[in-house]
Amino acid sequence: MKLISFVDFLNTGRLGPLHPGMTLNEVAGALGPPAGWIVNPAEGIAPHYWVYGRHLEVSLRFEEAAYCDWFQIEHAGDLSGDAVSLNDDMAIALDGLSGTSPMSDFIRSIADIDRVSIQLISPSHRPDPIIRVGDVQIICCTDEDALDPGYSLSDKILFYEKNAEVDSIYSYFRDEERRRNNAAYLKQFERVTISGRAYLDTLREHA
């Protein structure tokens, strides 16, 4: 069985042979046939998600040719142990991380910390933090009721460090136009974005 480095995936957005932008045939060649699929009835009968075991879902986009628009590590909060199987041929070596590792461990796993940002969106939309590394997004979850709306930014960082767990991890295919469209979409929400370096500095200041 081939072991794929989890930390390499977080840094590059590539999960072994899999990366966003691959054609459907390339995905099938790299991963083999899916264990299942999900169809969106509103968009026809073609499977829009290929499912590989419990933890890997590949989203397909159908334009001139079908290709991988993004993929995700689903149920990431369950990741534990030394490695987690994806299919019969591949497994993720977790490199000391798990679904319950604090956010700081994920941030420190990135080779260039200046690529890391943490997005905090208004609780009226989504209170959970998102760690961004290029086109990789680490979606974390928290107990919404325990987050005091009067918390300062430092209070929120300390709260997330203690309570947040990873929910899912996405790797997106985005050219410059898609990045601009995503930035325009996010402008409708009240949000705060801080750097990974600022997050770790806050933890050190309150240690």
Q: For the chain (length 207 residues), average pLDDT per consecutive 10?
A: 94 94 91 78 67 90 81 94 90 96 98 93 64 93 77 90 94 68 58 91 94
- pLDDT of 207 reads 84
Considering the entire predicted model, what is its pTM? 0.87
Question: Is 168 within 8 Å of 73 (Cβ atoms)?
Answer: yes
Q: What Å distances lie between residue 142 and 100, 103, 114, 121, 197, CA to CA? A: 11, 12, 25, 13, 22
